[in-house]
């Protein structure tokens, strides 16, 4: 890749040795083996490693639900949290209907390595007439930009796409700027906390689209003070580095922190969409060197200016 060194690796599975052994009886089957004794299928899994802007990590093209993973900093500094599935497309949501994990479990997805980026193409899924192109570009200053292009073949009311990043269960330093100040967004181990853009976005959350989580025992709470910036920052006081996840207000209807999984996420689009229409949204995950949380805000303003300028052109 132009902005980072990428190397592909893959391993092929070897056949198990069976000479001199009798076929096992049905009751003696090993775990994972079918009734007919068919061995499990092993497939190559290309792994693309990258080094860009002081970060090292990897992405699997044959396993698109994982997205990108940041492994370590090349400067020797510890990252605030090792994050997996960075800005990964995971949910489709619309008025009263939740397609939790629909893109990764129901859609055909192809991954492709380009000269400057990695692109995943998600096909339509049952009950979700949405085609998505997710393009990830590595940044020279550490991190990546993710551009999601949605194309709809039917009308959908209150459509949202959930994009998430997985964080370690022990991670507590997640922050949101809400009500004019930075606040800790840690929701607890069995709860999901939302920070909506406005009252309309809060109504989306309460219309039943998240009932699948409720039924699984996850408590949902909506903060009356919505976000000031569509941004989540992973940082512990005293650390030199923070990982900041940011979007555009007009494209991000809410941000959330899920303590049950655990994960942090953003809802994109947040509007009624018409058949044969298209919407494009852009997010950024950035490694920032900071002394305090307010030091992240200039990075966010730079992102907003760059994203809006490129959209005009």
Provide the pLDDT for residue 15: 32
Render the chain in DSSP notation, one character per residue.
Answer: -TTS--EEE--PPPPPP-TT-PPPPGGGPPTT--TT-PPPP-----EEEEEETTEEEEEETT-GGG-EEEEEETTSPPPS---EEEEEEEEEEETTEEEETHHHHHS-EEEEE-SS-EEEEE--BTTB-EEEEEEEEE-TTSEEEEEEEEEESS-EEEEEEEEEEE--TT---EEEEETTEEEE----TTEEEEEESSHHHHHHHTTTTTHHHHHTT-EEEE-SS-BSSSEEEE--TT-SEEEEEE--TTTEEEEEEETTTTEEEEEEEEEEE-TT-EEEEEEEEEEEE-SSGGGGHHHHHHHHHHHHHHHH-
**pLDDT of 313:** 65
242, 292 Cβ separation under 8 angstroms: no
Q: What is the rounded CA–CA span in Å between residue 252 and residue 214?
A: 23
Residue 253 token pair? 């209807």
What local confidence, expressed as pLDDT, does residue 65 receive? 66
Size of the chain in residues: 313
Whole-number pLDDT of residue 37: 67
Specify the pLDDT at position 1: 55
Instruction: Give the residues of the chain that fall short of pLDDT 50.
Output: 2-34
Q: pTM of the entire structure?
A: 0.85
**What is the residue extent of each domain of the chain?**
50-312
Query: pLDDT tens digits, residue range 21-70?
Result: 343 444 444 444 445 567 776 766 788 888 888 788 888 887 766 778 88
The CATH number corresponding to 50-312 among 2.60.40, 2.70.98, 1.10.150, 3.40.50 equals 2.70.98
Structure token pair of residue 276: 């044969």
Amino acid 19: pLDDT: 34
């Amino acid at each position: 890749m132009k902005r980072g060194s990428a190397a592909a690796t893959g391993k092929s599975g070897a056949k198990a040795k069976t000479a001199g052994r009798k076929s096992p009886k049905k009751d003696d089957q090993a775990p994972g083996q079918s009734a007919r004794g068919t061995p499990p299928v092993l497939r190559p899994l290309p792994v693309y490693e990258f080094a860009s802007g002081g970060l090292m990590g990897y992405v699997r093209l044959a396993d698109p639900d994982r997205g990108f993973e940041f492994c370590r900093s090349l400067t020797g500094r510890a990252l605030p949290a090792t994050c997996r599935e960075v800005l990964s497309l995971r949910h489709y949501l619309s008025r009263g209907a939740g397609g939790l994990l629909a893109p990764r479990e129901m859609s055909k997805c192809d991954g492709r390595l380009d000269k400057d980026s990695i692109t995943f193409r998600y096909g339509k899924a049952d009950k979700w007439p949405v085609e998505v192109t997710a393009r990830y570009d590595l940044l020279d200053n550490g991190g990546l930009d993710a551009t999601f292009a949605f194309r709809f073949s039917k009308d959908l009311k209150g459509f949202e796409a959930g994009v998430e990043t997985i964080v370690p269960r022990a991670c507590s330093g997640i922050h949101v700027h809400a009500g004019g100040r930075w606040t800790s967004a840690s929701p607890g181990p069995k709860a999901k906390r939302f920070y909506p853009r406005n009252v309309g976005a809060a109504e989306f959350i309460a219309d039943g689209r998240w009932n699948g989580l409720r039924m699984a025992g996850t408590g949902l709470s909506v903060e009356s003070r919505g976000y000031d910036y569509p941004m989540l920052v992973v940082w512990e006081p005293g650390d030199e580095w923070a990982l900041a996840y940011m979007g555009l207000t007009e494209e991000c209807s809410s941000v959330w922190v899920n303590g049950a999984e655990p994960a942090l996420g953003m809802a994109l689009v947040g509007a009624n969409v018409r058949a044969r229409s298209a919407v494009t949204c852009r997010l950024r995950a950035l490694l920032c060197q900071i002394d305090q949380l307010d030091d992240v805000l200039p990075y966010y303003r730079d992102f907003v200016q760059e994203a809006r300028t490129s959209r005009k052109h």
